[in-house]
Structure 1
């Protein structure tokens, strides 16, 4: 399926703020279920987090571009890189509480789950405690990969936690 994409660079410097803006814009734009909203780390002289929207049709892309411009956001065609971090994606609303790996793969756009430091993929019946915060990463081969890590009770949790402790927080 052909996809259409655009990038918004709002000068945001942290992922939590970028996630919040992405959710806000997705709701205001009333994006359809097949849309993706991703964050991209932009390095260089001015490090920041850019947002991208990937949509299923050119007319929808044009509508989103116009609505973003009306809200004061500049957009550019395409995505900053192929390895965006998916925040809004098909099936994300089904990934709440505790679900099985089979649920993750059948109910969402996630193609694969890998366990950090683990051999092979987890069994379909393995439980994933989502923390209601599931952020898979696009791989350069086009696969949407969720990285998980082992947790208590033979469960897994997403590698990215919803409220990370800043480095050196206790100093």
Structure 2
């Protein structure tokens, strides 16, 4: 059954290349943008690694629900808070240097085929230890995969140690979280918080 946090509805996807080189920097950018613009919980914000010619880094996509967000008003606000030289792309609209715009367009076109989700509906519930049922019923995460046992059936009461850092990925339109065994018979997200410690307080 589709949860109330499912990625349904019409979303406008804005691609951003603000020169962030690492996942940590991109995560920090996402939290800063979401905080300053006070965007709704229905937003999906993802990171996208890229390499085009000699350029490489991490771009960002912001999928905002059109029913809740005035994209025309959001566009100039984003322009005002991003560094000089940043690229933005939204459908036929763009801003910035050509190379940055090209990367922003790639980011905007990626979800839901691919992308690592930093912010998504229900993420605020994922602190401390939660159950498999919590993950699937209270967030936009639709599928759980255990590394090394992809076909494993997880009972709803299975406990997951979130470490306050849960980064699912889009896989062919399905928001999927990869889990690994943890101490005490628990499971934990495959990605640990060490690469992005600056964002732990934002989740």
Q: Same fold (TM over 0.5)?
A: yes
- What corresponds to 1:104 in structure 2? 135
Higher RCO (Cα < 8 Å, 6 or more apart): 2
1:68 offset after TM fit, Å? Answer: 0.5
- Distance (Å, rounded) in 1 between the aligned partners of 2:73 and 2:44: 15
- Distance (Å, rounded) in 1 between the aligned partners of 2:77 and 2:31: 15
SS of alignment partner, residue 110 of structure 1: coil
Residues 40, 80 of structure 1: 8 Å contact kept: no
Q: Please provide the CA RMSD for this pair.
A: 1.5
1:62 offset after TM fit, Å? Answer: 2.1
- What corresponds to 1:25 in structure 2? 33
- Give CA deviations for 1:41-93 in whole Å, capped at 9, x if unaligned: 11232111001100110752222212111224541026142311110111101
Is 2:85 the counterpart of 1:71? no
Residues 114, 121 of structure 1: 8 Å contact kept: no
Runs of 5+ unmatched residues, structure 1: 165-171
2:65 to 56, 60, 74: 56
- What corresponds to 1:145 in structure 2? 176
Q: How many residues were matched structurally?
A: 163
1:162 offset after TM fit, Å? Answer: 0.4
Residues 113, 121 of structure 1: 8 Å contact kept: no
- Distance (Å, rounded) in 1 between the aligned partners of 2:190 and 2:75: 33
Runs of 5+ unmatched residues, structure 2: 1-8, 92-107, 196-203
- Distance (Å, rounded) in 1 between the aligned partners of 2:74 and 2:178: 30
Which structure carries more helix by proportion? 2
Is 2:167 the counterpart of 1:135? yes
- What corresponds to 1:116 in structure 2? 147
- Distance (Å, rounded) in 2 between the aligned partners of 1:97 and 1:145: 20
- What corresponds to 2:124 in structure 1? 93
Moved more, 14-23 or 60-69: 60-69
Is 2:189 the counterpart of 1:158? yes
